[in-house]
Structure 1
Amino acid sequence: MSVEKTVLDMWAALSARDWEGLKSHLAEDCIYLDVPVGPTAAAKGPDDIVKRLKIGLEPLASYENFTGLLVVDGVNAMYEHHEEWHWATGESAVLRFVTVHRVENGKISLWKDYWDMSALANHAPPSWMEDFASADMSWMYDASGVV
């Protein structure tokens, strides 16, 4: 499977919140790093990455990823795209991303999201940060010095 197809198929699964489909595109030792949060709050492995993603995405009334520019260089890909988040309480946010992926043997082995956290914090419901702070954090992996 090509790097491009692996990346786009993974994002299609995430956009559909197809958690098992998403996991099928991740290497067993894949590291997910939300760059604005920092390397001490990374996630490692498909199960923990999904736990991490569900904290933000599962409570949403709707979530969609919109494709953009994808540049591939060997096993590395840079993907410029955006997401739209909608809460049941009426709030919504447009989040613009540049994501860096490394794809090895048909699986994503590194996933780094670069985005503006204030774009989310300024538009999310007031309870959003409280809900995040009280979530299961068993997924946390310190990727300092690894990524």
Structure 2
Amino acid sequence: MSVDEVHDVTPARATVYGMWRALSARDWDSLKTFLASDCIYLDMPVGPAAAARGPDDIVKRLKIGLEPLASYQNFDGLMVSDGDDVMYEHHEEWHWPTGESAVLQFVTVHRVQDGKITLWKDYWDMGALANHAPPTWLADFAEADMSWVFDATGIV
């Protein structure tokens, strides 16, 4: 379902839809426009000690996993909102140049204030990715630029 097809789109939901469209296109500059300057992003399987904060560092973090892919796409699912809080059930398809692929199921929680995402938490099964990724995936991640790491323990 596209944002144009939804009749009851709150401003918070429109922001979340827009951000995910930009991410699916890997349009990093557009993606940053949806994020507050102090936005916190974290993968819940990893925890708050390895979060990223701010648009530039969030994009650095996302690029580690998504930039090397031959293709990446997000597919819409259920989105519910309560004021500034938006929950989004969706899935992503990852395809590596070496032929491996994975379908990853997500529930994402966003907080949107003044038209910008201030909090982004992804809940997903890291094992589903590790079981389908190329054998070098985890080693490649470990060797990546980790300057984005922000410890959000006690904040989220």
**Residue 4 of structure 2 corresponds to which residue in structure 1?**
none
Q: Which of residues 142, 145, 149 in structure 2 aligns to 1:140?
A: 149
Cα distance in 1 for partners of 2:153, 2:13 equals: 28
Q: In the alignment, which residue of structure 1 is the partner of 2:16? A: 7
Partner of 2:71: 62
- 1:56-99 CA distance string (max 9 Å, x none): 00000000000000001000000000000000100000000000
Which residue pairs with 2:92 in the alignment?
Answer: 83
Counterpart code for 2:126: M
2-side partners of 1:13 and 1:116: how far apart? 23
Which one-letter code corresponds to 1:132 in the other structure? F
Q: Which residue of 2 aligns with 1:104?
A: 113
| Equivalent of residue 42 in structure 2, options 33, 37, 40 | 33
Deviations 1:93-114 (A, max 9, x none): 0000000000000000000000
Q: 2:32 aligns with which of 13, 16, 23?
A: 23
Q: How far 1:143 sits from its partner (Å)?
A: 0.3
Q: Alignment partner of 2:72: what SS?
A: strand
How far 1:55 sits from its partner (Å)?
Answer: 0.1
CA distance in structure 2 between the aligned counterparts of 1:50 and 1:76, rounded to whole angstroms: 22
User: Alignment RMSD, CA only?
Assistant: 0.7
Which residues of structure 1 form unaligned runs of 5+? none
Match for residue 94 of structure 1? Answer: 103
> Could you tell me how far 1:42 is from its partner in structure 2?
0.1
Q: Compute the displacement of 1:34 (Å).
A: 0.5
Distance in 1 of aligned mates of 2:125 and 2:23: 20
Say how many residue pairs are matched: 147
Unaligned runs of 5+ in 2: 1-9
How big is the shift at 1:15? Answer: 0.1
Which TM-score applies when normalising by structure 1?
A: 0.99
